[in-house]
Structure 1
Amino acid sequence: MNAKISFRNVSQTFPLKKSTFTALDEVSLDIGDEEFVTVVGPSGCGKSTLLNLAAGLATPTSGEVLVDGRTVTGPGPDRGVIFQQYALFPWLTVRGNVEFGLKLASVPAAERRLRAERAIGLVGLTDFADALPKTLSGGMKQRCAIARAYAVDPQVLLMDEPFGALDALTRVQLQDQLLETWSRDRRTVLFITHDVDEAVYLARRVVVMAARPGRIHSVVDVDLPYPRTEDIRLSPEFARIRNAVWTSVYHQTPAAPAA
């Protein structure tokens, strides 16, 4: 497997008043080109820290994070980041929000429009391109955020619990929408979630983290075909994998600190 993202012996510590908190401890992981990987684990296991390091929003205390074999030194257009909060500009339309990053990158107006329209179409918002965020549902706002990330043509999508604030039905609909978009326009995806079912449904591999300090507890292969469907979600094989991940998350022996 050619690694698109590599974490090499990555540790991340944060100073406290009288001590140091270790968010990640010697984490090593390779994510392949066009691979969809989800990360799940108990609270405080370092899931979001891992994503922030890949995004270049933080620098590891030790170790190295690489994308395409190059050390990550900061944010870049090769990596699109999508958070749980939509962070849309309320005074801009869907199209305006999606074009915003392209405008910052000095992309010519005609090309901006074409790329924005394509991204909006990928997430199924063509009929709402001229709508303001206040008129959109929560799910539509998140689709707009995904379109904005796609418009800058990133090679990697980094998603930090993007559906966590949505109701159950909208969440399932957006999972299917995301997989449909990914199948048409393949990217490498690192997707953080606290939902075991979501982790299994989306991924080729599920990375289970252990907390305090944050380490990789296990990696579970999801040998289910794409496209994923409701039948797959209800299948015995899905239940088997889901139960394996659930057990790994909620019945793990806490990781011991490195000597």
Structure 2
Amino acid sequence: MTDKISFRDVVKTYPVKNGTFTALGGVTLGIGEREFVTVVGPSGCGKSTLLNMAAGLGEPTSGEVTVDGRPVTGPGPDRGVIFQQYALFPWLTVRRNVEFGLRLTDADAGERRARAERAIELVGLSDFADALPKTLSGGMKQRCAIARAYAVDPEVLLMDEPFGALDALTRVQLQEQLLDTWSRQTRTVLFITHDVEEAVYLARRVVVMAARPGRVHEVIDVDLPYPRTEEMRLSPEFAALRNRVWHAVYHQGAPATRA
């Protein structure tokens, strides 16, 4: 499988009072074309730092981050980024929020509206296209944020704990909706989470990171077919994989959610 995203011996340090703090200590990882990869590990292991460098929101101190073999030098429309905070404009409707990112493209007003409508339909918000964010639930706000990322048609989705602030039921519903959308418009996904069950349920591979400094501890293949289902979540095979990932995280001293 050809790597869509590649981290090669990536080191990230920050200056502190008495020297430097090493957030990432030589991470090498490849993520294949159209692959769904989750990253889990203890707080401070550099998960978000890794994602931010793929997004072009930070630079490695040494090493290289590439997308399609080209060094990442900044943000770009080929990469959609979704954070835990919804970052919606409160004075704009769902439709206008989704259209906003398209203003940076060559699309005219008619095409922007059409692409926004398709993305809104894809996440199941067509009935709320004219609603303001304050009238939406947390899950609906996150779906709006996901639709905004989809609208610019990125080849890569970078998701940093996008469901972390949601209640358990909404979280499961959005996991299923995300996989349904991914199965229809397969993109490369790098998904950061603290939740072990979420990591296993979504991914083809789970990357377990260790901290001090941040590094790849283990990469675990999830040999379960898509589509993932509620029955699969309750299966012995799923439980075995979840326990394996949990064991790998636990022995890094992680405050992860077993779920």
Regarding TM over 0.5, the answer is yes
Give 2:251's aligned amino acid. Answer: H
**How big is the shift at 1:104?**
2.8
Count of matched residue positions in the alignment of Structure 1 and Structure 2: 254
**How big is the shift at 1:252?**
3.6
In 2: Cα distance, 1:250 partner to 1:137 partner = 33
The answer to whether the Cα contact below 8 Å between 2:42 and 2:252 also exists between their aligned partners in 1 is no
Q: Deviations over 1:168-191 (max 9, x none)?
A: 000000000000000010110000
Write the mapping of 1:121-160 to structure 2, written as runs, cut at 5 A.
Answer: 121-160=121-160
In 1: Cα distance, 2:149 partner to 2:72 partner = 19
In 1: Cα distance, 2:98 partner to 2:151 partner = 7
SS of residue matched to 2:199: helix
Q: Deviations over 1:106-151 (max 9, x none)?
A: 4201100111011001101011111100000000000000000000
- Residue 56 of structure 1 is matched in structure 2 by 56
Q: Do residues 210 (structure 1) and 210 (structure 2) align?
A: yes
**How big is the shift at 1:249?**
0.3
- Residue 247 of structure 1 is matched in structure 2 by 247
Q: Do residues 38 (structure 1) and 38 (structure 2) align?
A: yes
Write the mapping of 1:18-37 to structure 2, written as runs, cut at 5 A.
Answer: 18-37=18-37
- Residue 118 of structure 2 is matched in structure 1 by 118
In 1: Cα distance, 2:252 partner to 2:108 partner = 52
Give 2:59's aligned amino acid. Answer: T
SS of residue matched to 2:57: coil
**How big is the shift at 1:21?**
0.6
In 1: Cα distance, 2:46 partner to 2:205 partner = 18
Provide the aligned C-alpha RMSD in A: 1.0
In 1: Cα distance, 2:5 partner to 2:104 partner = 26
Detail structure 1 runs of 4+ shifted over 6 Å in the superposition. Answer: none
In 1: Cα distance, 2:164 partner to 2:253 partner = 26
SS of residue matched to 2:113: helix
**How big is the shift at 1:253?**
8.0
- Residue 196 of structure 1 is matched in structure 2 by 196
Give 2:10's aligned amino acid. Answer: V
**How big is the shift at 1:103?**
1.5
- Residue 98 of structure 1 is matched in structure 2 by 98
- Residue 219 of structure 2 is matched in structure 1 by 219
- Residue 229 of structure 1 is matched in structure 2 by 229
Give 1:242's aligned amino acid. Answer: R
SS of residue matched to 2:63: strand
In 2: Cα distance, 1:12 partner to 1:251 partner = 23
Q: Identity of aligned pairs, percent?
A: 81
Q: Unpaired runs of 5+ in structure 2?
A: 255-259
In 2: Cα distance, 1:185 partner to 1:92 partner = 27
Q: Unpaired runs of 5+ in structure 1?
A: 255-259
In 2: Cα distance, 1:18 partner to 1:216 partner = 26
TM-score norm. by structure 1 comes to 0.97
Q: Deviations over 1:195-254 (max 9, x none)?
A: 000000000000000001000000000000111000000000000000000000011489
In 2: Cα distance, 1:4 partner to 1:194 partner = 24
Deviating more after overlay: 99-108 vs 179-188: 99-108
SS of residue matched to 1:116: helix
